[in-house]
Chains A and B, each alone.
Chain A
Amino acid sequence: EAGVTQFPSHSVIEKGQTVTLRCDPISGHDNLYWYRRVMGKEIKFLLHFVKESKQDESGMPNNRFLAERTGGTYSTLKVQPAELEDSGVYFCASSHSMTSGRGYEQFFGPGTRLTVL
C-alpha cells in the first residue's frame, strides 16, 4: 500500500506570506497527526485528527496555524502569515483506528521543509 505522502517537499516563502501544506494519509487510516521540527529542536506534536474531527490541537503554536481535514481524507495545514520562526520540517503521520488495536503505530510521511525568509 502507498505510504503517507506530503506536498510540497520543500517550500521557500517570504515572511508574511501564506503557505499551505498537504498530507495524504494511508488509505483507511482514521487518525492523522501533524508534527514539526524547528531548527535544532525535537520533533513536536501539533495536532491530531480522528477522521474529520480535531481530537487534540494542544500543540498548535498560535492562531496563525489552521489545520483542516474535510471529508476525513487528506489534510491541509495553513500558515498565515508565516513568520521566520515557522521554518522547519513539518511531518504528517497516520494510523489505524484505536479500536483496531493497531492505532499505536504511526506511519510518517517524508515531511515538508518550510523555509521562511
Chain B
Amino acid sequence: LAKTTQPISMDSYEGQEVNITCSHNNIATNDYITWYQQFPSQGPRFIIQGYKTKVTNEVASLFIPADRKSSTLSLPRVSLSDTAVYYCLVGLSGAGSYQLTFGKGTKLSVIP
C-alpha cells in the first residue's frame, strides 16, 4: 500500500483557508485518495475522496495534480470546531477488502 507523508501539525487562525498537502509518491494506478478527520475521543470521519483533478463537497475541496503523487485538502474559512487530526489515505483499489491504512495524520489547531 502506498505510504503517505503529511505535516505533523499546523496552526491557523479562525476564518482562514487551510491547505494540508500529502505526498504519496508510490500511489498505484487503481488507488484513490481519501481524507478522514478525527476529533478527540471520537472515531475518524470521512471527509472527501478523489482520484484526479479536483473534487469539492460541502466540507472541503481536494486538489490532485496530474501525476497524482501528492494531493491537497483545502478547508475554507476554518472555525474552532475544525481543530482535529486530518488523515490522508491512499488505496481502496477495489481488491475486495477496503482496509484503511492510517498514517500519523496532521494535527490542525485553529486559534481565535
Interface residues of chain A, those whose CB is within 8 Å of chain B, are 4, 31, 33, 35, 42-45, 48, 55-56, 58-59, 91-93, 95, 98, 103-111
Contacts and interface: CB of A to CB of B under 8 A. Distances in A.
Contacts of A106: 44, 46, 98, 100
Most chain A CB within 10 A, of B44, B46, B98, B101, is at: B98
- The 10 A-B pairs with the shortest beta carbon distances in the complex, nearest first, are A108-B43, A56-B97, A45-B99, A43-B102, A105-B46, A42-B102, A91-B43, A48-B97, A108-B44, A104-B92
B32 A104 contact: yes
Contacts of B98: 31, 33, 48, 95, 98, 103-104, 106
Nearest to B49: A104
Given A93-B43, A108-B42, 11 more contacts: A43-B44, A43-B100, A45-B101, A48-B98, A55-B96, A56-B96, A59-B99, A91-B43, A92-B43, A105-B49, A109-B43
